Structure 1
Amino acid sequence: MKIALAQINPTVGDFTGNIKKIVEFAARASEQGAELVVFPELAVCGYPPADFLEKNAFVERAVQAVHEIAAWTGEQGRPAVLVGSVMPAASKIGKHVSNVAVLLSKGKTAFVQQKMLLPFYDVFDEQRYFEPASSQCLTSLNDQPLAITICEDAWNDKDFWPRQLYPVDPVNALMQQWQADADHLDRYPRIILNISASPFCQGKPATRQRMLAAIAQRHHAFVVLVNQVGGNDGLVFDGSSLVLDPSGKAVARAGCFVEDLIVVDIPHAEEAAPAPCDEIREVWQALVLGTRDYVRKCGFSKVLVAVSGGIDSALVAAIAVEALGAENVIGVGMPSEYSSLGSIEDARSLAHNLGIRFELLPIHDIFAQFQKVLEPLFAGTSFGIAEENLQPRIRGTLLMAISNKFGALVLTTGNKSEMAVGYCTLYGDMVGALAVIGDVYKTRVYQLAHHANRTREVIPLNTITKPPSAELRPGQQDTDSLPPYEVLDPILMAYVERFLSAEQIAKEQNVDLALVRSVLKLVEQSEYKRQQAAPVLKITPKSFGTGRRFPIAVKVQV
């Protein structure tokens, strides 16, 4: 059977655009002789639709869209389509909608498989909306038996994971059905189809392939994964669709972070080229794609970046240029009396290297006026955090004014290390529509900066080599307030992503317990800031956003 993997980038709620894309990819696949064209999970409505699923009109439009796609398959010679959608639940008890894979053939709905395992961890909230399937069932197309699963349904293999999250394994259940009729069915190759909307994080594409390879080997089956690609809010989907043969070997592979269409002849496919394994390149691609889709799917084309001469803003600007083009990025320098001449020149050099428009708006006079107004109230106090934070808040006000005037989204420039410990200013450097590097630790910022310079100097060398500083007071450096980032970041990774205690971290990393506790205290005290931050592009297993839910008003012993 010739199966096409249609790895598309849908937009949540854009039924007209999604239908058009599905039909266009199906038509291309038909020209290549495909008998079945497989699309990602919820491709009809986009993933994740969240509370739009509570709107009856949204669900009704999804059903109508499925009928429109089915009608396309009705013309003679056109392939069948397997596509993810939302549909009203069959039962009168429980949730009112289902996450389904719909097999459309010859103008009709030939088969519907409801998703059984509904993830309810990290960024996933599917138990909030969907009614789970009570059973799985094999189906067939042109006499070829097919085992159809949806994303999480393939993520509960007891032989791969140290702990199962669910009491049933849909893949195993389907293969037991196959085995029960093996005398008849084993005349055909075993094919397990999995339509997915599996978000990216560092290392996940490789883990996903290993998991599916284990399934292929255990069940002696071809495993076909079609995964969504693109950015939706803070989530980035890498695609990385693939076909594995019964030995677990990849025999077809779609691109990463791009829409793609590949046609595979099962069981005659040959070994595919190995996947690229450069983790920094993967992260870079994820941030570029996430930025591009966030801006464009929100209806914008231009962005603003406050370029200070520091490495964080330089990296964000470089990502924005690759995502949107230099003509759509505006760099704004806003030096105060504490900004060094070197930083101003670094900002100019960055803008020149990137080919972006650069505007210089000094804030000395505005800062002085603020201080004058506050002078009676602040009399008798020394210069401190209040005066320091006035500067980024002035900059935030100017950025939002420019944003309102010219319709350009502001990209924030804070990294994950800063967000973790609160080394950022509410209504100041946190002002903006998207936190591009909010899930990137400072040490990784430097790695990405070197990646940005892989072919030529984009980010000025001086920006990379100079000690990091907020430049909000004379001679300030980040290490005045924080441990060196090579010490801080491992502590944060252990606490934020692995939930280790202070004692465990101190022992594991051979660092002073008092230092660890001081860092963790900063993390806990800064929750109120993070919950007011712009959406963060997720690239680690645990980002600051919908997948990390902690109360603000707490008293925690760290």
Structure 2
Amino acid sequence: MAQVDLRVGDVPGNVSRVIDCAIRARDELNADLIIFPELTLTGYPPEDLLLRPALHDMVAEGLERLCTEVRGIHLLVGHPEQTRQGHYNSASLICDGRIVACCRKHHLPNYSVFDERRYFVPGDGFCVMEVAGVHIGVTICEDIWAPEPARAAVDAGAQLLVNLNASPFHTGKSNERESVVAERVGETGCPVVYVNLVGGQDELVFDGESFVLDRHSATVVRAPACEEGLYPVDFEKGAEGIEVLPGKISTRIEDVAGIYQVLVLGVRDYIEKNGFRGAIIGLSGGIDSALTLAIAVDAIGADRVQAVMMPSRYTADISLEDARAQAEGLGVVYQ
């Protein structure tokens, strides 16, 4: 599972990340397959960039690079697919110089922060891909929240289900994801590999926490929150189906410390991806600006943060003292 932090619109850079990860997975982990998040090549959410023909040209060039530069391992990558019928949210299996198979997302979310029906048309048909003798049913993000795609894949011969995601964080979301996927396992009897994006993009933060459920709906692998990495999953064929060998299970984000971790990630990526040199934080001596300063320092380092006291006629001396003490304690330039 490649839990990676991608940049929206930076198709060449994202493709280079995919190539680096694939080579590492092949050479260091001896992997047969590496799975990336939803819309790997464009980053998520690409929004109105999808209306630009130049983006689709870059995606086509990126897929060609993957076919040319990576051999000896299967790659499952997400990307927009441009056709005469419209744009699809797709995933392609690439191996040894060619695209072996391609599947399209069926259920397009159009609520809350999602606006996919503006850009995509729903796919039809279900795709089962074979890797190392295992038949894999591929679904994309929202597809796993409905019963039909998983059932159809299993009816078509899938022994293992894979789900590519760009699922943003909110409190309790990790538990929601695993509960929904457990329902799909219960309905199909197939293990599920759930690969999620990590990183911040504007107002969204993707927490990662990719995971694997075995055919008994038990969590046997869970990647850490807010961290990039390659997380190996080992399988073996058993008499009753594909068995997932237990791996490392990281703790889910469920407490205040976890939420703080997400805030730090979101601020860091917002600053880095927008090319800002640093941050200036206005302090009042109150807890809200104090927390903001702490997050900024943890996100990008004290040397890139400047604190400015912004008192009013109502500011008490203790507020001035507290603000100065915090700035000095964090090693931040204070004015």
Alignment TM-score > 0.5, same fold: yes
* 3-state SS, counterpart of residue 264 of structure 1: coil
* 3-state SS, counterpart of residue 263 of structure 1: coil
What's the offset of the Cα at 1:273?
Answer: 3.0
Q: Which residue of 1 aligns with 2:194?
A: 225
Conservation of the 8 A alpha-carbon contact between 1:220 and 1:247:
yes
Which one has a larger percent strand, Structure 1 or Structure 2? 2
Alignment pair present for 1:121 and 2:111? yes
TM-score calculated relative to the size of structure 1: 0.57
For residues 477-535 of structure 1, what are the alpha-carbon distances to aligned partners after superposition, in whole Å with 9 as ceiling and x for unaligned? Answer: xxxxxxxxxxxxxxxxxxxxxxxxxxxxxxxxxxxxxxxxxxxxxxxxxxxxxxxxxxx
Q: Which residue of 2 aligns with 1:294?
A: 270
Letter aligned with residue 176 of structure 1: D
For residues 127-172 of structure 1, what are the alpha-carbon distances to aligned partners after superposition, in whole Å with 9 as ceiling and x for unaligned? Answer: 0000110221322123321100000010113xxxxxxxxxxx2112
Q: Which residue of 1 aligns with 2:239?
A: none
Alignment pair present for 1:258 and 2:206? no
What's the offset of the Cα at 1:271?
Answer: 5.3
For residues 228-264 of structure 1, what are the alpha-carbon distances to aligned partners after superposition, in whole Å with 9 as ceiling and x for unaligned? Answer: 0000000000110111110111222211111011111
Conservation of the 8 A alpha-carbon contact between 1:250 and 1:272:
no
Q: Which residue of 1 aligns with 2:9?
A: 13
Letter aligned with residue 59 of structure 2: A
TM-score calculated relative to the size of structure 2: 0.94
* 3-state SS, counterpart of residue 40 of structure 1: coil
Match of 1:209 among 168, 178, 185: 178
* CA RMSD across the alignment: 1.4
**Distance verdict in 2 for CA 1:171–1:206, change over 3 Å:** same
Q: Which residue of 2 aligns with 1:358?
A: 334
Q: Which has the larger radius of gyration?
A: 1
Letter aligned with residue 81 of structure 2: M
Cα separation, 2, equivalents of 1:277 and 1:294: 21
What's the offset of the Cα at 1:335?
Answer: 2.0
- Bigger CA drift: 273-282 or 142-151? 273-282
Where in structure 2 are the equivalents of 1:493-504 lying within 5 Å? none
Q: Which runs of 5+ in 2 are unaligned?
A: 236-242
Cα separation, 2, equivalents of 1:33 and 1:310: 53
Cα separation, 2, equivalents of 1:203 and 1:290: 17
Alignment pair present for 1:87 and 2:81? yes
* 3-state SS, counterpart of residue 195 of structure 2: strand
**Distance verdict in 2 for CA 1:218–1:274, change over 3 Å:** farther
* 3-state SS, counterpart of residue 9 of structure 1: coil
What's the offset of the Cα at 1:301?
Answer: 2.8
Where in structure 2 are the equivalents of 1:507-546 lying within 5 Å? none
Q: Which residue of 2 aligns with 1:45?
A: 42
Letter aligned with residue 78 of structure 2: G
Cα separation, 2, equivalents of 1:115 and 1:135: 10
Cα separation, 2, equivalents of 1:120 and 1:278: 27
Where in structure 2 are the equivalents of 1:386-425 lying within 5 Å? none
What's the offset of the Cα at 1:292?
Answer: 0.2
Cα separation, 2, equivalents of 1:296 and 1:277: 24
- How many pairs are equivalent? 327
Match of 1:177 among 125, 131, 156: 156
For residues 362-391 of structure 1, what are the alpha-carbon distances to aligned partners after superposition, in whole Å with 9 as ceiling and x for unaligned? Answer: xxxxxxxxxxxxxxxxxxxxxxxxxxxxxx
Match of 2:95 among 105, 130, 139: 105
Cα separation, 1, equivalents of 2:125 and 2:324: 62
Cα separation, 1, equivalents of 2:127 and 2:2: 23
What's the offset of the Cα at 1:338?
Answer: 2.5
Q: Which runs of 5+ in 1 are unaligned?
A: 158-168, 179-184, 360-558
